[in-house]
Amino acid sequence: MESRGWGGFATGGLVAGAVLWSLATTDVELSRLFSAGPRIGDFLARMFPPDPSVMTEIIKGSAETLRIAILGTLGAVLLSGPLGVFASETMAPPVVYRPVRTALALIRAIPLILVAMLMVGAVGLGPLPGIIAVAIHATGMLAKFYAEAIDGVARGPIAALESAGAGPLARLRYAIWPQMAPVIARDTIFRFELNLRESLILGIVGAGGIAFYIQSYVRSFQYEKAASVTLAVIAMVLAIEAFNVALRRRFS
Amino acid sequence: MTEAVRIEELCFSHVASGLPTLDQVTLSIPPGEALALIGPSGAGKTTLLTLLDGRLRAWRGRVSVLGDALDPDRAPPRARRADTGFIFQDFALVERASVLRNVLNGRLGRIRPLRALLGRPSKDDLAVARSALADCGIVDLAERRVDSLSGGQRQRVAIARCLSQEPRLILADEPVSNLDPARAAEILSLLTEAARQRGATTVFSSHQPDLARRFARRIVGMRNGRIVFDIPTAELTEDATARVYDDANATVQPRLKAVP
């Protein structure tokens, strides 16, 4: 009990210290909060009414974001196929799956926006760095999911086909694949949804897509146009969600 | 005619895998025999059957199946694996596939590998599968998915898959211990009758001596990896059963099984 009391005291002290340190070293002028209300009001008023004249830009930007998500997901699927096999306990020995899993965890730890900035530096502006960034970033998660799908397969049917004289490819085709396919499909759809959501912001670092327009309209004070694009982004996210709910029901 | 199974001084021990050991097992089974292996859990029944199926290796001794020596270092050739059918306690079916697809899977050892991967099933394969479905009384379930079936129906599918291999030796590992007593008798009767009509040799294991007595002509009792007795069914006495089971329970806990 004694030590627990001390532990609680120490934790409280640590949290209080962290908050005090942050307050003391950050320039927090509370007076600025009070004048924020009218400014936000002004900002929202300038966004209204949304300017529908940017429809062409919205369609162009949305289509590009969609293409980045589709091609990025395709790249991730192609990379995750072999990497998923290498990361699975049932298909690879420990000397292979352990380092592969560590590498995948490292990839997952890097935020997409950072990967995208690196890729813009490497291949220049446009949708290409966005596609590469999404493919790399998504592989960290998707390859792990694929490995788990492989490891989750029931052994019985594989043994039964081996017993019947089926070769290794026939076992893969008729015992392993039917068990894996729905899991793989569900995971890939889930990752596609995440890719689409995450790639909406890629335009901010010049990696293509609809966020480029939001950023350029805000910078040039064309708030009515920025509002239209923002509404389009919200509509897109809602549409993706509805689409995925329908798809997931199909694969459950 | 050569024996269906000939085992001489077979020993198997693999501590790491936790499998029961086999100790100096010698057994020969003539073609067409219906033989039951009885004994408590851990006696080595599953080990012996899996070994005869060619899926367990690194054993010592001499084993021949259907006239060919079994190699303790490598898997048997495909045709030989197809000749030997295996029925699993937990059915080992592909749950998300149809009954017909599962039964056709039994044909995979009989057709060329490339054809197995690409082509649709041939007329001959479909005919064999349909006659196996008919023998198991499940023609009307052909298009159903396995995950919608009951335990008894699943074991019928598994037997149909085994029959579609056109096996000459059928090894059944506790085929009915996941089923209720009425289903159990039904399934064993179906299995032994289908084997008899095809002239196939049957070896099934069971932990229920009364089922062994009803459906086998010969009974082999095992305990601690050894054969304790090997007698015609008519000679099975309470005393013989007791030699396999009594005070074995002191060292091996009886396994409790869920009835689905």
Q: Do B97 and A166 touch (CB under 8 A)?
A: no
Q: Do A156 and B95 touch (CB under 8 A)?
A: no
pLDDT digits (tens, 9 = 90+) for A73-108: 999 999 999 999 999 988 788 999 999 999 999 999
pLDDT digits (tens, 9 = 90+) for A142-174: 999 999 998 999 999 999 999 999 988 899 899
Between A24-38, A65-79, B36-50, the lowest mean confidence (pLDDT) is in A24-38
Domains of chain B: 5-93+167-251 (3.40.50.300)
User: Does a structural domain hold residue A11?
Assistant: no
In the prediction, which pLDDT does B69 show?
93
Q: Output the average pLDDT for chain A.
A: 88
Cβ atoms A36, A215 nearer than 8 A: no
CATH code for the domain in which residue A137 is found: 1.10.3720.10
The DSSP-derived string for chain A is -HHHHHHHHHHHHHHHHHHHHHHHHS---HHHHHTHHHHHHHHHHHH-S--GGGHHHHHHHHHHHHHHHHHHHHHHHHHHHHHHHHT-TTTS-HHHHHHHHHHHHHHHHS-HHHHHHHHHHHH-SSHHHHHHHHHHHHHHHHHHHHHHHHHTS-SHHHHHHHHHT--HHHHIIIIIHHHHHHHHHHHHHHHHHHHHHHHTTGGGGTSSSTHHHHHHHHHTT-HHHHHHHHHHHHHHHHHHHHHHHHHHHHH-
Comparing alpha-carbon positions, the chain B residue that sits nearest to A177 is B94
In the prediction, which pLDDT does B42 show?
87
User: Does a structural domain hold residue A122?
Assistant: yes
Closest chain A C-alpha to B41 CA, distance in angstroms? 20
B197 pLDDT band, cuts 50/70/90, is very high
A chain contacts of residue B106, beta-carbon cutoff 8 Å: 164
User: Does a structural domain hold residue A235?
Assistant: yes
CB pairs under 8 A between A and B: 81
Cβ atoms A212, A116 nearer than 8 A: no
Full domain range(s) for residue A71: 55-251
Q: Do A157 and B94 touch (CB under 8 A)?
A: yes
A160, A173, A178: residue with CB nearest B117? A173
pLDDT digits (tens, 9 = 90+) for B38-73: 999 889 999 999 999 999 988 999 999 999 999 998
pLDDT digits (tens, 9 = 90+) for A104-132: 999 999 999 999 999 999 998 889 999 99
Q: Do B81 and A161 touch (CB under 8 A)?
A: no
Cβ atoms B137, B165 nearer than 8 A: no
User: Does a structural domain hold residue A121?
Assistant: yes
Q: Do A165 and B91 touch (CB under 8 A)?
A: no
User: Does a structural domain hold residue A33?
Assistant: no
The DSSP-derived string for chain B is ---SEEEEEEEE--GGGTPPPEEEEEEEE-TT-EEEEE--TTSSHHHHHHHHTT-----EEEEEETTEEPPTTSPPPHHHHHHEEEE-TT----TTSBHHHHHHHTTTTTS-HHHHHSSPPPHHHHHHHHHHHHHTT-GGGTTSBGGGS-HHHHHHHHHHHHHHT--SEEEESSTTTTS-HHHHHHHHHHHHHHHHHHT-EEEEEES-HHHHHHH-SEEEEEETTEEEEEEEGGG--HHHHHHHHTTHHHHSPPPP----
In the prediction, which pLDDT does B252 show?
45
Chain A contact probe: residue of B53, B94, B104, B165 with most A CBs at under 10 A: B94
Predicted confidence (pLDDT) at residue B207 exceeds the cutoff of 80: yes
Closest chain A C-alpha to B34 CA, distance in angstroms? 20
B chain contacts of residue A160, beta-carbon cutoff 8 Å: 86, 88, 92-93, 105, 158, 161
pLDDT: is A1 or B160 the higher one?
Answer: B160
Between A180-184, A194-198, A204-208, B255-259, the lowest mean confidence (pLDDT) is in B255-259
How many distinct structural domains can be found in chain A?
A: 1
User: Does a structural domain hold residue A29?
Assistant: no
What ipTM was assigned to the predicted interfaces of this complex? 0.88
User: Does a structural domain hold residue A115?
Assistant: yes
Cβ atoms B183, B205 nearer than 8 A: no
Cα–Cα distance, B228 to B25 (Å, whole number): 10
pLDDT digits (tens, 9 = 90+) for B230-251: 999 988 888 888 888 876 444 4
Q: Which of B154, B96, B107 is nearest to B131 (CA)?
A: B107
Predicted confidence (pLDDT) at residue A186 exceeds the cutoff of 60: yes
pLDDT: is A49 or B51 the higher one?
Answer: B51
In the prediction, which pLDDT does B61 show?
93
Chain B contact probe: residue of A155, A158, A163 with most B CBs at under 10 A: A163
Q: Do A178 and B90 touch (CB under 8 A)?
A: no
In the prediction, which pLDDT does A39 show?
79
Chain A residues with CB under 8 Å of a chain B CB are 154, 156-157, 159-167, 169-170, 173-175, 178-179, 182
User: Does a structural domain hold residue A22?
Assistant: no
